[in-house]
Structure formats: structure tokens, C-alpha cells
């Protein structure tokens, strides 16, 4: 079922990135940033709940069952969001690549032919507008900061670049969603995404990586081993104590 | 970029109902713009605010505790400055 698959993609992107950002909790470089990163994580978790609850209704499962009882191969998030936090530069660059895309996607989904998707997207868009603003700000500060921060940002952009291609990939599910007016043409988001990158990278004194080889597979359930470790932590309680509640 | 290199900022938040900005607390940030961003994340997470002001803590001039006597004590013996000696007519509401 394409709509189900599509909602898992939206929900899993938010859920896995939220879990990644949550790893910073208590380890942020300064208290203010620690709170800010976990705020973003909580925003994304709220979005994940809305998407997964909708997906669950289509198949008779609830959001918790989808989050806690699926194995890695059933997750539909893009590979970008499962990449490790690395140093702070990797976290910021990963977030900026994702937010710039996420913002464009949610703008399109705010006009979806599906009323429920329209509602969730409009709510999420406000949150993501702020995420993007914060992220772009950090990109410039660190890119155009010290010699060390600049080189760390350049490394991070280089390491993560190959995971950006998947964001714009149109497969059968995306095609069907775009044609029915529920989703959108991801390939068409590439140019506005690049335009944003060019502007921010220029201000940050960073170069956009030139490599063209792209890694993909997350959207159809082919993940790196990293997702397994994320799920081990995310799902431990429900796996060890099935049905446990707060 | 350690915290000790970032200056301290005082944060003032105007709440949903209130008319005036009130002191909410302080935080560290490299400049005014990030101070506003940080204030948003630290002090308005529970829907407390509609407006944020930040000011460098070093730009605030404070009265000194040792001057408490000359500054504030004279006011204590002047109860006539409180408008409590007037009878409020029954017709006046919402005062």
C-alpha cells in the first residue's frame, strides 16, 4: 500500500533523526545548545507520532507498535538521518541538509490532496522553519568561524554529501503519491534546495562538495548497520518488557 | 568555543497576557542574535512568550546593596504616598 509506505517514510525520517538528536541530551557543547537540540528532537518526535499514528490507522496498528516493534528492514527513513552525530559539525551539517529539504517538502505537503497530511504538514512547517533558521545560522558561524571549525564543517559536508541524493529520488511509491496529488515531485525540489545551499555555503565560506556518487536504499528498507544500533536503544524497553507502559 | 568565552545575557519575556516584558533569567550566547534564539529555546518552551528582549548583563547598571539605606529606607516612613486614604465610591468598578 503506497500511502502506508509513504507515511512510514515521513514518520521514520522524523523518528530516527529525533532519536539521533536525543543522544546529545546532557552532552551538548553548552547548556543552551543542549536544550535547543533536544527541543528540535522533541519537535521531530511529535511529528513522527502524527505520521505514524496515521500510518497505523491504515493497517490497524498504533504508533507505538510501529515505532517499537518493527525491525530495521521495515524502516523507511532516508540514510542521511541515521548517520552518527559525529562531532558537532556533523550534527549541524546533517541537520541543515535535512531541514532545507524537509522545509521544501512540507511546503508542498501543505497543499496535499489528503486533508490529514495537509494538517500535519502545516503544523510541522512552523517548527521546521525555526529548525532551518537555527541550522543556517550555525552553518555560517562555524563555516566562517575559526580555522578548526571551518575544516570540521568542510569534512562533515564531504562525509554527508553522498546521502543527499536519496532525498530527491523518485521511485514507484513517490511517483504514485505525486500523481495522485498526495505527495509531490521530489526531483523538482532539488534546484530550490541547491539554491538555498549555495546561498548559505557562500556566506559560510564553505564549498559545496563536488562528488556525484550517491548512496541510497533507506527509503526501501536497505539500511546501514547503524540503524540497528539506534533501534536497539530505541526499542529495548518494548522488546524486553512487551506491552510495558509508563 | 567554551562557555566562558561567551558573554552573559539577561532575558526579558513578554507573556501571553502581560503587557510588560519581565525578567526571565539569563543565558550565555556569542551575540545578540543567538541570545534571542537561545532564549526562545530555554525560556519559551512552554508557551510562555510572545516577545523576547535580550541585553548584555554587563550593560545593566544595578543599585548597590550597601546603598539600601539611603536609597529605600526614606520611602518606608511615607505612607501618604500610597493612595489608601481615599474612599472609593461604589460606582467605580475595575479599580
Q: pLDDT by residue (tens digit) across A107-148?
A: 999 999 999 999 999 999 999 999 999 999 999 999 999 999
User: Cα dist. B7→A26, A63, A103, B27, B54 in Å?
Assistant: 22, 43, 32, 8, 12
The reply to whether residue B42 touches residue A30, judged by beta carbons under 8 angstroms, is no
Q: What is the largest CA-CA distance in chain A?
A: 54
Look at residues A60, A21, A66 and name the one whose alpha carbon lies nearest to residue A43. Answer: A21
Residue B56: the pLDDT is 96
What percentage of chain A has pLDDT greater than the value 70? 100
User: What does pLDDT average to over chain B?
Assistant: 85
Q: Is A137 on the interface with B (CB under 8 A)?
A: yes
Look at residues A171, A148, A43, A27 and name the one whose alpha carbon lies nearest to residue A103. Answer: A43
Residue B50: the pLDDT is 87
User: Cα dist. A124→A78, A106, A183, A205 in Å?
Assistant: 18, 7, 15, 30
Residue with grid cell 556569542, as numbered in its chain: B30
Q: Is B31 on the interface with A (CB under 8 A)?
A: no
> CB of A112 within 8 A of CB of A121?
yes
- Which range has the worst mean pLDDT, A85-99, A153-167, A222-236, B55-69? B55-69
User: Cα dist. B14→B21, B39, B64 in Å?
Assistant: 4, 12, 27
The minimum CA-CA distance between A191 and chain B, rounded to whole Å, is: 29
End-to-end CA, chain A = 33
What is the distance between the alpha carbons of residues A98 and A177, in angstroms, rounded to a whole number?
21
Instruction: Give Cβ neighbours of residue A11 (< 8 Å, ≥ 6 apart).
Output: A47, A48, A50, A51, A52, A55, A66
Residue B3: the pLDDT is 47
End-to-end CA, chain B = 53
The reply to whether residue B28 touches residue A141, judged by beta carbons under 8 angstroms, is no
Chain A residue with minimum CA distance to B9: A32
At residue B49, what are phi and psi to the nearest 5 degrees? Answer: -130, 155
Cell of A61: 496498528
Chain A residue with minimum CA distance to B27: A32
Cell of A57: 490507522
User: What does pLDDT average to over chain A?
Assistant: 96
pLDDT digits (tens, 9 = 90+) for A181-207: 999 999 999 999 999 999 999 999 999
Amino acid at each position: 500500500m503506497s500511502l502506508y509506505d509513504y507515511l512510514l517514510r515521513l514518520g521514520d525520517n522524523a523518528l530516527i533523526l529525533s532519536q539521533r538528536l536525543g543522544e546529545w541530551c546532557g552532552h551538548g557543547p553548552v547548556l543552551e545548545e543542549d536544550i535547543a537540540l533536544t527541543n528540535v528532537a522533541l519537535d521531530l518526535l511529535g511529528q513522527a507520532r502524527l505520521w505514524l499514528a496515521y500510518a497505523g490507522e491504515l493497517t490497524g496498528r498504533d504508533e507505538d507498535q510501529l515505532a517499537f516493534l518493527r525491525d530495521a528492514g521495515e524502516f523507511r527513513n532516508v540514510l542521511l538521518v541515521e548517520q552518527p552525530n559525529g562531532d558537532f559539525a556533523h550534527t549541524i551539517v546533517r541537520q541543515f541538509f535535512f531541514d532545507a529539504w524537509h522545509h521544501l517538502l512540507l511546503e508542498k505537503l501543505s497543499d496535499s490532496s489528503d486533508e490529514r497530511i495537509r494538517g500535519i504538514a502545516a503544523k510541522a512547517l512552523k517548527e521546521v522553519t525555526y529548525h532551518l533558521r537555527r541550522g543556517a545560522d550555525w552553518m555560517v558561524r562555524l563555516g566562517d568561524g575559526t580555522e578548526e571549525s571551518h575544516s570540521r564543517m568542510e569534512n562533515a559536508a564531504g562525509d554527508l554529501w553522498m546521502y543527499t541524493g536519496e532525498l530527491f529520488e523518485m521511485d514507484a511509491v513517490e511517483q504514485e503519491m505525486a500523481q495522485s496529488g498526495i505527495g509531490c515531485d521530489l526531483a523538482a525540489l532539488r534546484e530550490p534546495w541547491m539554491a538555498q545551499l549555495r546561498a548559505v555555503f557562500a556566506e559560510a565560506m564553505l564549498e559545496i562538495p563536488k562528488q556525484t556518487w550517491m548512496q541510497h536504499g533507506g527509503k526501501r528498507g536497505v539500511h546501514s548497520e547503524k540503524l540497528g544500533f539506534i533501534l536497539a536503544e530505541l526499542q529495548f524497553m518494548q522488546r524486553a518488557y512487551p506491552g510495558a507502559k509508563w | 568555543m567554551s562557555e566562558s568565552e561567551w558573554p552573559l545575557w539577561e532575558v526579558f519575556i513578554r507573556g501571553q497576557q502581560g503587557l510588560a516584558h519581565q525578567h526571565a533569567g539569563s543565558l550565555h550566547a556569542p551575540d545578540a542574535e543567538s541570545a534571542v534564539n537561545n532564549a526562545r529555546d530555554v525560556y519559551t518552551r512552554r508557551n510562555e512568550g510572545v516577545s523576547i528582549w535580550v541585553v548584555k548583563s554587563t550593560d545593566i547598571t544595578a543599585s548597590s546593596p550597601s546603598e539600601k539605606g539611603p536609597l529605600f529606607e526614606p520611602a518606608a516612613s511615607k505612607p501618604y504616598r500610597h493612595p489608601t486614604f481615599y474612599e472609593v465610591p461604589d460606582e467605580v468598578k475595575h479599580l
